[in-house]
Structure 1
Amino acid sequence: MKVEPMTPGWDTLAAGTWNVAKRVLQASVLAILLLYVFQRYFVFPRHVSAAINGEPGAMLGAELITVTTADGERLVAYWRAPESGMPVIVTFHGNASSPIPHAQRFSTPPWSTYGWGFLTIAYRGYPGSTGSPSQVGLLADGQAALAYVTAKAPDNPVVLHGHSLGTGVALAVAMQAKPKAIILEAAYTSLVAAAATKIPLLPYLMWDRFPASEWIKSVDAPIEIVHGDTDTIIPIQIGRELASLNTAAVFTSVPGADHVSVFGSQDIRIESQLRSLIPASRWDFRGNRTTPLINRLDEFPAPASTRKQKPMP
């Protein structure tokens, strides 16, 4: 008698499928849990940030200093005092960067030619600084940087600058300060929006959201937002959206520039424009006007859709 081979029954197939699904679900839950617990390792990857030492500052005429925050953290920083009457740039770096590129940038032409000062800090938890990074902590670091500059150069104008993560810090500081101008490179509307383009699940788990789109609405200063049109880290449409939220903002797209190469790409133009405004009581990125912001909209034609039509003769 011939015996036919047995084929798996429905119960066997269902049990195998359930076991596979269960393993996938367990792995997914574990991945989400790890992402949630260790998210600041990814949001603030200070382990890849360059170590700070005195040599770069000494070569560039900058002083290696310590800035103490209101909650007692000690931040390593580079400081260069401005020449008489010249502004100080308070500049904030990106999440995987350090103060070194900023010190190198603002210690060289065109900024050094005319005696601009600068302060650039390493956020808490980054190499050389104490503490652990968070949104609350970085905003406290920004306030401490501004307080240091105000104490050291009380009569000099202040310009705030940020790149990538630092753009949110600059905007948060600007809400409490009265900067003459703000320069933002590779800016975002929020870290949530930026993260959503890379890790769709992360925005639902994030502790540190940096809502720049809300902060910019409270800023009363001229703003230049510069963005590379090939930026794949923070797509250009995010920076453009941020600029649309404040009438004082001017948006500049840099052809061919990415998230890194946009850094400093417009310095010759921006430095010249800002320097021409130093004697003015009010600065403006649009045509060097110095009228109050509240009146500035009258100087630009309304969009065609809102323009009043003249009566037909």
Structure 2
Amino acid sequence: MARYQGQTPPQDPVISAKLSHTSGLNSAPLCALSYAFLSLTPSGDAPSPWLALGAFIGLPLALWVYKCIMLVLFQRKIIYMGYVPLDARSQELNKDISPAKGIKCEEILINGERNIRLYGILVRRDSVPPSEQQPKAVIVYFQGNAGNPLGRLPLWERLILGTSLSPGFSQPQSVLDSTAILAIAPRSYWKSTKKTPTERGIISDYLSALNYASLRFPSTPIILYGHSLGGAAAVCLSAQVKSGAFPHVQGLILENPFASIPWMVKALYPQKWLPYHYLGGFAFDKWDALSAMRDVREGKLLDRLRRDVLVVLSQKDEIVPNEMGKALYEAAQTGSSSEKSGQEPGSGHMVNIPSALHDNAWTVRQWRREMELYILSRTSKMNN
């Protein structure tokens, strides 16, 4: 453009003809406007302070709003992570993961509601004598929000095969020798039906697992054992079913349990100046185990189990705050309808496993000792 500085640039005859006939306007002003537009150069003037302030505040705000919307819309992908680890849905028993020597692991298929197919495993000691085909105790396991039952095999191997760690007791090991563990994968986990998981749906799946255990082992004491999100599931399920429907359920173990999803959101985002801190109210599935424990109605299974609950906490839990488990334990021990009716206090207690993380309390000696003693106390109560 410097070549034509101070001169009128040459005009294309076709463009000039069209401009001269546009609504009868003179073509000169339009040509001048076109030339001015084409000759624009970057300005050295600083941007407006208001524009800079708007960009400084508006960009983070827009990103926060976007992330908040994504967290709300896809929250079930975050809460229910059946896809973690990457091969969690495709692992095969005895092909990808095999039980340790001395362990017998049976793959189970249960038909749930509305054509839901639930896969799981039944774990027992391999050397169970024929006279003890009915185990002395059955643990129905409620898993956390990731992985599959095969990933918990080391836990069950430690429980069943580990050397007795309880000084002064000779019976606990014989009880564990004949303890069976039923671990069912709810919908969207492992090989179970790939259907969107919800609180109502997962509670229904675990109810099917409990029904299966009750029918297969009709005279055996059953203990519900929930870890992490599974702890909330165990509480919420037992708060909904009638006690008389499951007379052989004698115990409840909660390990590093969720108290509720809204509380977990605040624990994950403790900074009150972040918008994520306040997203708990938008949770589709609340998993409000704390309210279920506080407000359980008389005649429900939880009302019978709550006074005898065992709460196991990992001292260095990096995911679920210990305060959640403590709040659940306190709610279980206070204000129950059984206490109001003058019954004796229960045998429930809470233990804190030193140096343990969220998923590895079972590697600490104290974990197995507490499990031994609790299973023994629950089976002894039913047998007496």
> What TM-score does the superposition give when structure 1 sets the normalisation length?
0.79
How far did 1:106 drift? Answer: 2.8
Residue aligned with 1:173, SS: helix
Q: Which amino acid aligns with 2:290?
A: S
Q: CA deviation at 1:240?
A: 0.9
Partner of 1:31: 67
The residue aligned with 1:145 is: 209
**Alpha-carbon distance between aligned partners in 2 of 1:191 and 1:88, rounded to the nearest angstrom:** 29
Distance 2:331 2:91 in 1: 36
- Give the secondary structure class of the aligned counterpart of 2:254: strand
| Corresponding residue for residue 343 of structure 2 | none
Match of 2:93, as an amino acid? G
* Aligned partner letter, 1:45: M
1:76 and 2:119 aligned: yes
In the other structure, the counterpart of 1:251 is 350
Local SS of the residue matching 1:170: helix
d(CA) in 2 for partners of 1:106 and 1:187? 19
Q: Given the alignment, which residue of 133, 139, 143 partners 1:89? A: 139
Higher relative contact order (CA 8 A, sep 6+): 2
Q: 3-state SS of the aligned residue for 2:114?
A: coil
Which residues in structure 2 correspond to 1:1-313 (within 5 Å)? Answer: 8=46, 12-49=48-85, 50=88, 51-55=90-94, 56=97, 60-80=103-123, 83-84=133-134, 86-107=136-157, 108-110=160-162, 113-130=176-193, 131-175=195-239, 176=241, 177-178=246-247, 179-199=249-269, 200-217=277-294, 218=296, 219=302, 220-221=304-305, 222-247=308-333, 248=346, 249-263=348-362, 265=364, 266-281=367-382
| Cα distance, 1:19–1:106 mapped onto 2, change above 3 Å | closer
CA contact (8 A) 1:163 1:263 kept: no
Displacement after TM superposition at 1:6 (Å): 8.5
Offset at 1:264? 6.2
Q: How far apart are residue 279 of structure 1 and its match?
A: 3.6
Provide the rounded CA distance (Å) in 1 between the counterparts of 2:202 and 2:135: 29
Letter in 2 for 1:196: K
User: Offset of 1:144 from its aligned partner?
Assistant: 0.7
In 1, Cα distance between equivalents of 2:72 and 2:211: 34
CA distance in 2, matches of 1:37, 1:92: 26
Secondary structure of the corresponding residue to residue 160 of structure 1: strand
Note the alpha carbon deviations across 1:26-76, whole angstroms, 9 max, x for none: 222211111111111111122114244221466531211211212321111
**Structure 1 residues 19 and 269, CA, compared in 2 at 3 Å: closer, same or farther?**
closer
Q: Which digits, 9 at most, give the CA deviation of each residue in 1:218-239, with x for residues without a partner?
A: 3221110000111120111221
**Worse-matched range after superposition: 118-127 or 12-21:** 12-21
What are the Cα deviations for residues 178-213 of structure 1, in whole angstroms up to 9, with x where unaligned?
Answer: 520111111121122122111324313211110111
| 1:159, distance to aligned residue in structure 2 (A) | 0.3
How many residue pairs end up in the alignment?
Answer: 277
CA distance, structure 1, for counterparts of residue 84 and residue 286 of structure 2: 21
- Structure 2 residue identity aligned to 1:109: L
| Distance (Å, rounded) in 1 between the aligned partners of 2:135 and 2:144 | 29
Opposite residue 271 of structure 1, the aligned amino acid is E
The whole-number CA distance in structure 2 between the counterparts of 1:150 and 1:57 is 27
SS of the equivalent of 1:61 reads strand
One-letter amino acid of the structure 2 residue matched with residue 194 of structure 1: M
Instruction: Quote the offset at 1:281 in angstroms.
Output: 3.6
Larger helix fraction of residues: 2
Structure-2 separation of matches of 1:15 and 1:273: 66
Decide whether the 8 Å contact of 2:259 with 2:328 is kept in 1. Answer: yes
Q: CA RMSD in A?
A: 2.6
1: distance between equivalents of 2:93 and 2:46? 72
Q: Which amino acid aligns with 1:256?
A: S
8 Å contact from structure 1 (residues 186, 262) kept in 2: no
**Bigger CA radius of gyration:** 2
Aligned partner letter, 2:354: P
Secondary structure, in 3 states, of the residue corresponding to 2:318?
A: coil
Shift of the 85–126 alpha-carbon distance from structure 1 to 2, 3 Å rule, reads: closer
Whether the 8 Å contact between 1:83 and 1:116 is mirrored in structure 2 is no
Whether the 8 Å CA contact 2:251–2:378 is kept in 1: the answer is no
Q: Give unmatched runs, 5+ long, in structure 1.
A: 283-289, 291-313
2-structure distance, mates of 1:269, 1:20: 55
Partner-residue secondary structure (3-state), 1:66: strand
Sequence identity percentage: 22
**Distance verdict in 2 for CA 1:133–1:6, change over 3 Å:** closer
